[in-house]
């Protein structure tokens, strides 16, 4: 079993390191509290900790966390190169997130010459100012919503 979806819960035996996945610079839309991560992506939300993901959108987050990809196969292939073995060890449990392209590009642009706390703060303000209010959070704004925003509004 790679993972099982039962109701609103994904349970997995995959070696997921949510702290490493979410803090390695791929995404900035999450909050951590006592080892549990509240993750926001494309108008969806989940709580991820240990070997569980709890969400109203289990299929979305199974895809978002790339649970169907066999990373062990990649690691076995890469381990043939001695110079990569330390990287494989350090990166165990990290997955490549399947993010919304628009949100990823805007986040990347914002990340230039910024540190992670500042990037998270800017993206959060962008979502609060222009994103749709959801269940306790704001979704990342769509391209159509951001298109008419003026430079002055962005600066604020």
| Token duo for residue 130 | 């222009």
What's the confidence (pLDDT) of residue 1? Answer: 62
Nearest to 93 by CA among 17, 14, 2, 11: 17
First and final CA of the chain: distance in angstroms?
A: 48
Which parts of the chain sit beneath pLDDT 50? Answer: none
From its phi and psi, is residue 124 left (phi > 0), alpha (psi between -120 and 50) or beta? alpha
What's the confidence (pLDDT) of residue 53? Answer: 98
| Structure confidence by residue, pLDDT tens digits, 92-111 | 889 999 999 999 999 999 99
Q: Who's near 42: CB < 8 A, 6+ residues apart?
A: 60, 99, 100, 103, 139, 140
Q: Who's near 137: CB < 8 A, 6+ residues apart?
A: 38, 40, 45, 127
Q: Who's near 129: CB < 8 A, 6+ residues apart?
A: 153, 156
What's the confidence (pLDDT) of residue 10? Answer: 97
């Amino acid at each position: 079993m790679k993972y099982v979806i039962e109701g609103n819960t994904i349970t997995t035996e995959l070696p997921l390191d949510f702290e490493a996945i979410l803090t390695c610079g791929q995404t900035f839309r999450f909050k951590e509290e006592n080892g549990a991560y509240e993750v926001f992506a494309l108008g969806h939300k989940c709580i991820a900790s240990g070997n569980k993901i709890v969400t109203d959108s289990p299929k979305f987050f199974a895809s978002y966390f790339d649970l169907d990809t066999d990373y062990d196969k990649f690691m076995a292939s890469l381990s043939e190169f001695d110079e990569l073995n330390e990287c494989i060890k350090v990166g165990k449990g990290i997955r490549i997130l399947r993010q919304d392209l628009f949100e990823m590009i805007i986040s990347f642009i914002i990340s230039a010459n910024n540190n992670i706390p500042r990037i998270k703060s800017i993206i959060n303000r962008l979502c609060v100012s222009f994103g749709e209010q959801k269940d306790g959070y704001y979704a990342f704004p769509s391209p159509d919503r951001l298109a008419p925003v003026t430079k002055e509004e962005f600066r604020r």
